[in-house]
Amino acid sequence: MSTAFRSWFMLIGFILAYFTYLLLGALVFSAIERPVEENLKADLSALKAEFLNLSCVNSTALESFLERVLKANKYGVSVLENTSLRTNWDLASSLFFANTMVTTVGYGHTTPLSDAGKAFSIVYALMGVPFTMLVLTACVQRLMHPLTYRPISACQRRAGLQPRSASVVHFIVLLFLVVLCFFVVPSLVFSTIEETWSFLDAFYFCFISLCTIGLGDFVPAEKPGQSLRALYKISVMVYLFVGLMVMFLVLRTFHKLADVHGWTAFFQLPSCDEDDEDKEPIIEAGPEDDSPEAEKASIKPLDPSSQVSYNSINR
Amino acid sequence: MKWKTVLAIFLLVVLYLIIGATVFKALEQPEEGLQKYRIIQEKIHFLSMHTCVNTSELEDLVKQVVFAIRAGVNPSGHPSNESSMWDLSSSFFFAGTVITTIGFGNVSPHTEGGRIFCIIYALLGIPLFGFLLAGVGDQLGTIFGKGIAKVEKMFVKWNVSQTKIRVTSTVLFILFGCLLFVALPALIFQHIEGWSALESIYFVVITLTTIGFGDFVAGGSEIEYLDYYKPLVWFWILVGLAYFAAVLSMIGDWLRVISKKTKEEVGEFRAHAAEWTANVSAEFKETRRRLSVEIYDKFQRAAYIKRKLSSELGQNPGQDMMPCKRTLSVNFTDELEREGLPTLTKNGSLYLNGLTPDCPDRSEISIIEHLK
C-alpha cells in the first residue's frame, strides 16, 4: 500500500513541480519580451501613420489590403516581387514538409492550404508519427550497443572503474561530442550559409529543431534566390533525422545512467529495461541473439538412460 | 540480418516520406498558385486605385508588416489598446508549448536574451515534462490494464477468448478517448474559434501529436475569449498528450507481450517436441532390448532342456532339431546399452546360437562362451 501511495505522491509532486516551472518560465519570458513587443508596435503604428500621411490612401483601404497580404503570408505566399517565382510546394520542399511533420517538429512556415491537404495531413500524421518514433527507437536500441554498452564495459575493464562512475564519464563524453558535432558545427555552417542568421540564431535554430519544438521563426533554405535549394533542404532533412536519433540516444543513455544510480527507482518511474532483446522482436523477425538461447532452453539432452522410468532393467 | 532489417525499415520510412511529398505537392501547389495570383491582383488593384503610392514604398510597408506579424504583432486594427502576446497567460501558454515540444510558433522570442533563455528553459523543461508524461501514461496504462483484467475475469466465464476481450477493450478505450479528447474539443473549438469541422480536427491532431504548425492556435485569434478558456485549452493539451502517450505505451507493451508470448510458445512447442521424440526413441530402444533379452532367455531354457534330454537319452544324435548356426543379433547403438546387459556381446552384437544336433559340442561351448 505504501508503494502505491508513494508513487501517487511522486506523481502529484511532479505535476506541481511542472506547474511551478511553467509559471516561472512565463514570468521570465514576459519580462524579457514584452518591452520589445511594445517597441515594435510603436514602430509599426508610426510607419503606418507615415505611409497614410504621404499618400492618398485612406485607412480602410490600407487595412483591407494589409489583411489580405497577411492572410496570404500566413500560408507562406509572399506579395513581394522577387519571391513570386519560388514555390513552397516543389518536391524538395514537400519532402521537407513531410519530414517536419512525421518527426513532429512542425515549423509551420508552410502549412496545407486546401481542405484536401488538411485532411491528408491528419491521416498522414496519425500514421507517420508513431511509425517514425518506432523506427527511431529501434535504431537507437541498436546503436546503444556500440555507442553505450560497449564503451561503458570497456571503461570498466580497462580503467577499472565502478559501473556508476564509468556511466557518468561515458555520458559526459557523449554529451560533449554530441554538442560539438550536432550543435556547434551545424550552427557554424548555418550561420555561414544563411546571411541573416548570427551564430546564436543558428544555435537556437538547431536546438529548437532537434528538440522537435520547431517554433518556425527560423527555417533554413527560405531565403529568396537561394542556390541549390533542393540539395540544401534535403541535407537539412538528413541532419534533422540523424540529429533526432542522436538526441534519443542521449536521452536513453541518460535514462540508463539514472537507472544505474537508482534515481528511477527512487522516483518510481519506469526503468530502462535491461532486456533489450525483448523489444527487438517488435521490429524484426528472428533476432539472432535469441535463437541460440531459445534452442538451448528447449532442447534437453536426449539421453535414454537419463529417463527414470526406463532404468529398471539391470543385467 | 539485424542491420538489414533496420535498413529495410529505414528505406520504408524514406519511401513513406516521398509518397507524402508527392501527394502534398499535388494537393497544395495549385492552391498556392491561386493564392499568389489573387494577392498579386490585389496589389495591382491597390496600386492602381491609389496612384500616389509607388511600388517600392508599398513593398517596404509590406516587409515591415510581415516582420511585425512574425514577431506576433498584428498591425491591422488598433494596436494600442489590445492585449499583448506576452502577458502572463500568453507567456504561460508559450512556455507550455515549448516544454511539450509542440512549438506553435505564432509567438516566439525575438530578443537574444529571450532566445538564450528559451534554450536553457527547454533543456531543463523537456525532460521534466517527459518524466511527467511517462509517469501519467504509466498510471493510466496500469489503471486501464487492471480494468481489462477485471472485465476479462467476467468474460472468461462466458468462454470468450482472451485475445478477443483484449482487442475489443482496446478498441473501446481508443474510441472513448477519441470522443473525449478529440471529438469533443474539436466541437468546442469549432464553436468558439469559428473554424470549420475539418480545421478543428486538423488542429487537434496536429497539436496532440506535438507537431504544432501554428497556423491554427486555440486562443490565438482576436476574438474575445472567456477568462478560463486558455487555461482550459492548456489543460486539455496536457491530458490529451497523456492519453496519446498511454495509448502508445499500451500498444508498445502489447507488441512486447505478443512477441514474448510467441517466443515462449515456440520455445514450449520445441521443448514438447523434443521431449516427445526422446521418449519415443527411448521406449523403442527399451522394447528392442526387452525383446532381445526375452529371446535369449527362451533359447537358454531350450538349450538347457536339450542338454538334459540328450544326457538322459545318452549319446543319441537324433534328428535335426534345429539347424547348426542360427544367429539372432541385436545391435546396440552405444556403450551404455551394452554395459547395461552383462556378457553376451562380441563387437557390439549379441549372438545366440541355436542348438544343433550336428554340433552339440560346439553349441555347448558356444553357449558357455556366451554366458561368460
DSSP conformation letters of B94-151: HHHHHHTT----SS---SHHHHHHHHHHHHHHHHHHHHHHHHHHHHHHHHHHHHHHHH
**Strand partners of residue A23:** none
**Cβ of residue B39 closer than 8 Å to a chain A Cβ:** yes
Contact A286, B255 (CB under 8 A): no
Q: Max Cα separation, chain A?
A: 124
Residue B320 has pLDDT above 70, yes or no: no
B201 neighbourhood in chain A, CB within 8 Å: 122
Question: What's the CA gap between B203 and A122, in Å, rounded?
Answer: 9
Residue from the list B53, B136, B248 with its beta carbon closest to the beta carbon of A57 = B53
**If residue A30 lies in a helix (H) or strand (E), which one and from where to where?**
helix A2-54
Residue from the list B36, B87, B212 with its beta carbon closest to the beta carbon of A30 = B87
Which position has the higher pLDDT, A254 or A183? A183
Bin A100: left if φ > 0, else alpha if -120 < ψ < 50, else beta: alpha
For residue B19, give how far its alpha carbon lies from the nearest alpha carbon of chain A (Å).
9
Residue from the list B32, B114, B277 with its beta carbon closest to the beta carbon of A32 = B114
Which of A174-188, A267-281, B101-115, B158-172 is most confident?
A174-188
Residue A151 has pLDDT above 50, yes or no: yes
**B122 and A75: CB-CB below 8 Å?**
no
- How buried is residue A283: exposed, middle or buried, by Cβ count under 10 Å (0-12/13-18/19+)? buried
Residue from the list B31, B79, B214 with its beta carbon closest to the beta carbon of A44 = B79
Cα-Cα-Cα-Cα torsion B147, B151, B153, B156, nearest 10 degrees, comes to -150
What rounded mean pLDDT belongs to chain A? 73
- pLDDT of A160 reads 73
Residue B329 has pLDDT above 60, yes or no: no
Report residue A228's pLDDT band, with 50, 70 and 90 as the boundaries.
Answer: confident
Report residue A115's pLDDT band, with 50, 70 and 90 as the boundaries.
Answer: confident
Question: What's the CA gap between A103 and A286, in Å, rounded?
Answer: 28
For residue A269, give how far its alpha carbon lies from the nearest alpha carbon of chain B (Å).
6
Residue from the list B59, B89, B135 with its beta carbon closest to the beta carbon of A80 = B59
B268 neighbourhood in chain A, CB within 8 Å: 298
**Strand partners of residue B349:** B331, B346
- pLDDT of A154 reads 79
CB atoms within 10 A of CB B81: 6
User: Which residue, chain included where needed, has cell 554395459?
Assistant: B339
Residue A122 has pLDDT above 70, yes or no: yes
Question: What's the CA gap between B61 and A69, in Å, rounded?
Answer: 11
Which of A122-136, A187-201, B26-40 is most confident?
A187-201
Contact A201, A191 (CB under 8 A): yes
pLDDT digits (tens, 9 = 90+) for B12-66: 777 777 777 777 677 767 777 777 788 888 888 887 877 777 778 778 888 887 7
Residues A120-130 have a mean pLDDT of 81
- pLDDT of B67 reads 75
Question: What's the CA gap between B365 and A39, in Å, rounded?
Answer: 126
**Cβ of residue B210 closer than 8 Å to a chain A Cβ:** yes
DSSP, res A280 = G
Residue A54 has pLDDT above 90, yes or no: no
| The three grid cell numbers given for residue B96, joined into one nine-digit string | 507550455
pLDDT digits (tens, 9 = 90+) for A238-278: 899 889 989 888 888 887 887 778 776 666 555 655 444 44
**Cβ of residue B94 closer than 8 Å to a chain A Cβ:** yes
Minimum mean pLDDT range among A18-32, A149-163, B61-75, B248-262: B248-262
**A212 and B139: CB-CB below 8 Å?**
no
**Strand partners of residue A267:** none
**A298 and B270: CB-CB below 8 Å?**
yes
- pLDDT of A302 reads 44
CA atoms within 13 A on the CB side of A154: 8
Residues A114-122 have a mean pLDDT of 82
For residue B85, give how far its alpha carbon lies from the nearest alpha carbon of chain A (Å).
8
- pLDDT of B364 reads 41
**If residue B350 lies in a helix (H) or strand (E), which one and from where to where?**
strand B349-350
Question: What's the CA gap between B132 and B130, in Å, rounded?
Answer: 5
Chains A, B: CB contacts under 8 A, how many?
Answer: 431
Residue A284 has pLDDT above 80, yes or no: no
Bin B349: left if φ > 0, else alpha if -120 < ψ < 50, else beta: beta
User: Which residue, chain included where needed, has cell 487492471?
Assistant: B146
| The three grid cell numbers given for residue B157, joined into one nine-digit string | 466465464
Cα angle for residues B303, B304, B307 (degrees, 5° grid): 85
**A119 and B35: CB-CB below 8 Å?**
no
User: Which residue, chain included where needed, has cell 520504408?
Assistant: B12
Question: What's the CA gap between A167 and A264, in Å, rounded?
Answer: 15
CB atoms within 10 A of CB A64: 13
Question: What's the CA gap between B10 and A132, in Å, rounded?
Answer: 9
Question: What's the CA gap between A25 and B117, in Å, rounded?
Answer: 9
Residue A138 has pLDDT above 90, yes or no: no
Q: What's at B164, amino acid-wise? A: K
**B76 and A56: CB-CB below 8 Å?**
no
Residues B235-253 have a mean pLDDT of 75
Residues B328-343 have a mean pLDDT of 45
- How buried is residue B80: exposed, middle or buried, by Cβ count under 10 Å (0-12/13-18/19+)? exposed
Residues A159-171 have a mean pLDDT of 78
Nearest by Cα to A111 from B360, B337, B212: B212
Best to test chain A binding among B1, B6, B27, B275 (most A CBs inside 10 Å): B27
